[in-house]
Amino acid sequence: MNRSEAERRIEELTAAIRHHEYLYYVKNEPEISDAEFDQLMLELKRLEEQFPDLRRPDSPTQRVGGAPAPEFAKVPHQPPMYSLDNAFSEEDLRDFDRRVREGLGGEPVEYVCELKIDGLSISLRYEDGLFVQGATRGDGQTGEDVTENLRTIGSLPLRVEPAGRPVPPRLIVRGEAYMEKRVLEELNAALAEQGKPLLQNPRNAAAGGLRQKDPRKTRERRLDTFLYQVVDAEELGFTDHWSCLQQLEAWRFKVNPYRQLCRSIDEVLEWVESWRERRFELPYEIDGLVIKVNSLAQQRRLGFTSKFPRWAIAYKFPAEERETTVLGISLDVGRTGVVTPTADLAPVRIAGTTVKRATLHNEDYIREKDIRIGDTVVIRKAGEIIPEVVRVVLEKRPADAVPWQFPKTCPACGGELVRLEGEAATRCTNSLCPAQQYRAILHFASRDAMNIEGLGEALVQALLDKGLIADAADLYRLHERREELLGLERMGEKSVENLLAAIDATRQNPLHRLIFALGIRHVGERAARLLADHFGSMEAIEKASLDELLAIPGLGPKIAESVQAFFASPRSHQLLAKLRAAGVNMVGERKTGPAEGPLAGMTVVVTGTLSRWGRKEIEELIRQLGGKAAGSVSKKTSFVLAGESPGSKLAKAQELGIPVLTEEEFYNRYVQE
């Protein structure tokens, strides 16, 4: 790779890593696995080592962690909470050992080996033995004050009593907040029953739990902790890390029992190998192992790079892959009619669970990988959570295996399946398809739509099976069928009463919630709000022409055409008539008058990654300040709010001469009182 190619690749990697850092650290919505992210970072690091003059001060390799979220007060960390450099092989660990011994002039070295808990790093401060403040890691320099949320965790002592040695007047300890796998399963079972989105994995569930505004919501997540560091330990009289762990236990902090004191790198490697399979037997997730120099004096002499301690490293296990057989390919029908193929697999144990199915996404995916029934395939778990097919083992393909053909009819209703030009998805065209109705009703009742508490997957299916409902509007007539509801499994008097009350409470929901709940193709929460604000009533939207829809800033032709098609459908007219008859609110506040607030009359376009707000949060804030959040830059744009990696919208703004504000400028000018 020449210098020009390296420069271009470094720019691509930097943009990708920043995107995934934002999803991971700020939004808690990762799109790729840890292993895939590590490979991106490793490639960037190697290119920068090969072309050091291309390393930029703002490169992801120079950053310790992510930015703190805006909901909580900021807490400075002193000393900083450093991240760890990564090792992926025996060679990497031996190289780490060589650097340590060279840095210490050949002195003997002991290592402490610990599990790397997959949760959220925390720092706890105690004054005279009393817990006074807890913070997340944030960007390593500054974290978020989550004291009240941490108080809800039973394993975290609110007071530390002397044991073995006195408790210092000021004590700072650090560790990890996490969620056990069984807790995640139990919470997800309850969420599924209510028709709510599931928690993605234990790490994100723990992070989201600690960032709840209401500590009672945190308590519901049933988080736990492991503590592993005493800050300023040498100044407190400790001589080695192993003693710190023992003292933390004596002070009744929860310390992970799976740790090892090793007197050579060979012993470290033996310990690492012992955890390759054992890790899946743990009741919690780990994302690697941590190896630290034991002596605190040696740690001090080795010091830090600008990003990592030189005396510690994290070993990351390679993504586990297994071979299995494709027994069949089944089809699932979504609420918009999209038909998704899924591989039915011979059961195989991978990453601690038995896998029997893996999504195949769409027809193109199957064709590109040439997946056939009877094939031996290699599978892995993306992020050690979602099973995916990596490749087909062609040398093991049966002689009678034939290319799989997408069916022409829907598996749920027998309706015609079509694939529109330019789309990857195949859809069922029958709007009365029972599978679509099931998904549509679940969407209607979901949290961001009408938010009907207690109406989960099992109950919706039971209501459909018993003929109590045919569509979402029928939910509002269930009070007429109370006796039949009582005959359903697990539906006693109290359950029926709660369900009917929850349904009734949604009749007066804001108009934008109902629009989103209708499940109009391409219409998300933002577009639903735009429609509600612009037209002010469902009747006005129904009568709107395509030109009127296209005139709404930020709506776009694809959404406008989809909205018009939906309201032109006789099926939609019937559904809306039933909802009106049930007394569901069809009117909103049309925002045509002069807006109030510092952004009154302004149109703002947001681009790039912001550290203070997520995309939904900043758009809502702009509305609260009297402005309009638009999706594209035009001559009507008042200014562009640009975060990291802003992309083409920034270039368009500069081309049109539209003002561009940084996040800090926007905050100081319009938000800060």
Residues 6+ apart with CB under 8 A from 242: 110, 112, 261, 294
Residue indicated by tokens 């099976």: 465
Q: For residue 2, what are the CA distances in angstroms to 47, 159, 315, 483, 571?
A: 11, 59, 31, 76, 60
Q: Is 511 exposed, middle or buried (0-12, 13-18, 19+ CB in 10 A)?
A: buried
> CB–CB of 590/535 below 8 Å?
yes
Residue 27 annotated in active site: no
Closest C-alpha to 562, from 664, 374, 423: 423
Angle (nearest 5°) at CA 149 between 148 and 150:
90
User: Radius of gyration (Cα) for the chain, nearest Å?
Assistant: 28
Q: Is 361 exposed, middle or buried (0-12, 13-18, 19+ CB in 10 A)?
A: middle
Catalytic residue among 27, 45, 116, 635: 116
Closest C-alpha to 392, from 409, 413, 414, 370: 370
Return d(Cα 413, Cα 424) in angstroms, integer: 21
* Distance linking the first and last C-alpha atoms of the chain: 52
> CB–CB of 217/208 below 8 Å?
no
Running DSSP on this structure, what letter comes out for residue 223? -
Return d(Cα 455, Cα 463) in angstroms, integer: 10
SS3 per-residue string spanning 112-164: EEEEEECCEEEEEEEECCEEEEEEECCCCCEEEECHHHHCCCCCCCCECCCEC
Going by DSSP bridges, is the β-strand pair 628-630/86-87 parallel, antiparallel, or unpaired?
Answer: unpaired
Return d(Cα 250, Cα 233) in angstroms, integer: 15
| Bond before 79 cis per omega within 30 degrees | yes
Residues classed as catalytic: 116
